[in-house]
Amino acid sequence: MLEPITNKPAAVRPLRRRTLLTAVLASGAGLAVAAPAAARTSDPGPATGRRAAAGYVLPAPTGPADLGTVAVHLRDTTRTDPWAPGHPPREIMIQIWYPARDLCGHLPEPWLSPGAVPHFAETFGLPADRIRSTRTHGRTGAPVLPRRGGHPVLLYSPGLGGDRGTGTVLVEDLAAHGYIVVTIDHTHDASEVEFPGGRVEVAALPPDLTDEVVVQAAAVRDADTRFVLDQLAALDAGRNPDAARRRLPDGLRGAFDLSRIGMFGHSLGGSTAAAVMHDDPRLKAGVNLDGTFVGPAATGGSARPFLLISSDHGPDAEDPTWTRFWSAQQGWKRQLRLRDTVHGSFNDGVSLYPQAALEIGLTPQQLAGMVGTLAPPRSVEIQRTYLRAFFDQHLRCRDGRLLAAPDPRYPEIHFVR
């Protein structure tokens, strides 16, 4: 998830690669600096009678395909929501990103849905009007580019407290290179989720974030992800799993190559990828971006390929859960470290906070603590390159030389093992 500027409940802090409970409770240490008063004021709502603020700019995808996207409301009537009073059926939102056939008549998708902006702005200390005006490179509801046999599929799970949109910089690039990427909002774990009709559900994990609670959150995420995999099969068959049967983009039927599904995630999302890999053979390849592995399924490994990429925590600060996973993992494996990065380097905060630093009063030292000292465009470039190389190698049978040995073009990548 993005790093907060203001102090916030432990339940929505990021899960770092240290010991489990210590990681959760200490994850904001040194980063929860006081924001200027202007950044802490309540959201004034959409601009009326004045010029709207310019949004932040996300780095353009490097792939050749135009992008379409659609949000889908899913309801799992076989499960109840453990975090909600009365335990109603589990509801989640997903966002599907895909190569688009054409963009004519389709508007750019907002980075964050409008109803979620006020809570997000208050939580993360970014100006609401700037967030509200930030646009992605995807066009809402654009028709899907047809491909014989369908497009390979990737799932994305954010860090604890993170919204599905906080990985957009990586997600868009993969979609522009021919993948369908499905991002998941884990309701009541995510900082905020807006459902159709304007209902917003905010984080609701218990304030006493014990090991047991985090393990439960990890189990809920595992179940969420496997449910999403079921719904992708329904979509590919031409059915509409949206709870209100809202219209879906043309061309989704037959667009998913369900024989080639991978998953990646940041922080607890990376652990989620490993757990689902262990539990569900439908996933063929997985990536953990700087996340502690939570629970026996996550550390249990699989016989399928898995990539680990960590921040620059130093050679003597290895997470013991990574060691356990490495010993259990039977399939192809590789561990990399991206130099001069921190935990927050692996989500959209690496692009947003440098643009916002002056207006919200971040010092250079504070900014470095949130996104690292590696230049943000370079950090994004390297993450995109290695993530795509991994999935291209293991889902598309393409050249795997980049992951075989250090490359002089990317001296910032250290091959740990």
pLDDT (0 to 100) of residue 115: 97
Domain regions of the chain by residue span: 10-42+54-415
Name the pLDDT band for 13 (thresholds 50, 70, 90). Answer: very low
pLDDT (0 to 100) of residue 34: 33
pLDDT digits (tens, 9 = 90+) for 228-254: 999 999 999 999 999 999 999 999 999
pLDDT (0 to 100) of residue 23: 36
pLDDT (0 to 100) of residue 340: 97
Task: Let me know: does 111 contact 355? Beta carbons within 8 Å.
Answer: no
Average pLDDT for 373-377: 97
DSSP 108-169: EEESS-GGGHHHHHHHH---HHHHHH-EEEEEETPPBPP-TT-EEEEEEE--TT--GGGGHH
The SS3 call for residue 265 is strand
Name the pLDDT band for 22 (thresholds 50, 70, 90). Answer: very low
DSSP 25-68: HHTTTTT-PPPPHHHHSPP--S--SSPPPPPP-PPPP-SSS-EE
Average pLDDT for 3-12: 39
Name the pLDDT band for 17 (thresholds 50, 70, 90). Answer: very low
pLDDT (0 to 100) of residue 316: 62
- For helices 349-360 and 376-395, angle between their N-to-C axes, nearest 10 degrees: 170
Average pLDDT for 157-186: 97
Task: Let me know: does 252 contact 74? Beta carbons within 8 Å.
Answer: no
Name the pLDDT band for 407 (thresholds 50, 70, 90). Answer: very high
pTM of the predicted model, to two decimals? Answer: 0.90
Residue 376 has pLDDT above 70, yes or no: yes
Which stretch of DSSP H or E encloses residue 309? strand 306-310
Half-sphere exposure of 97 (CA within 13 A, CB side): 32
pLDDT digits (tens, 9 = 90+) for 123-156: 999 999 999 999 999 999 999 999 999 999 999 9
Mean pLDDT of all residues in the chain? 90
pLDDT (0 to 100) of residue 318: 77
pLDDT > 70 fraction of the chain, expressed in percent and rounded: 87
User: CATH top-level class for 10-42+54-415?
Assistant: alpha beta
Residue 19 has pLDDT above 50, yes or no: no
pLDDT (0 to 100) of residue 78: 96
pLDDT digits (tens, 9 = 90+) for 49-101: 556 789 999 999 999 999 999 999 999 999 999 999 999 999 999 999 999 99
Distance set, CA 402 to CA 288, 334, 382, 385, 386 (Å):
18, 11, 11, 9, 8
pLDDT digits (tens, 9 = 90+) for 342-369: 999 999 999 999 999 999 999 999 999 9
pLDDT (0 to 100) of residue 314: 67
- Of residues 15 and 325, the one with the higher pLDDT is 325
Number of Cβ within 10 Å of residue 108's Cβ equals 16
Dist. CA 213–CA 206, nearest whole Å? 8
Name the pLDDT band for 207 (thresholds 50, 70, 90). Answer: confident
